[in-house]
Amino acid sequence: MSEVLERYGIDVCGTEYGKQLGQGLFEFRLRHDSDEIIAKHTDSTPDGERDEAPIFLRVFCHAYGEKIVLLLAGYDKGEDPGERRQDKEIALARRRLAEFLARKRSS
């Protein structure tokens, strides 16, 4: 996750790894096994011990300024693929973002 977000930032939304959700929120998503991710996005060499199960990760983020990405909520979509869980996590991320921005405005 850090390799991809560090490299692309908010531009991750122009790749298979991101999607704009509106109101300052975007989704970071993974759908690959760990060796594929390492081979694509790092200078490291995969260890060859392939993990057969892909990683289905969803993390809901906000780009704060030019260099900060706030990680607001996330879950393993492979364990709970339902839309209800995703909607719950997005709502949680929106609440956390609103609370963060309110604290910033008041300080």
d(CA 11, CA 93): 19
77 versus 31: the higher-pLDDT residue is 77
CA distance 39 to 24: 30
Mean pLDDT of 81-99: 96
> What confidence score (pLDDT) does residue 1 get?
78
Domain positions in the chain: 2-106
DSSP sequence for 25-50:
EEEEEEEE-HHHHHHHH-SSPP-S--
Report the pLDDT value the prediction gives residue 4, as an integer from 0 to 100.
83
Mean pLDDT of the chain: 87
- pLDDT value, residue 50: 56
pLDDT in tens, 92-105: 999 999 999 999 99
Confidence at residue 6, expressed as pLDDT on a 0 to 100 scale: 84
Beta-carbon count within 10 A of 15 CB? 12
> What pLDDT is stored for residue 63 in this prediction?
93
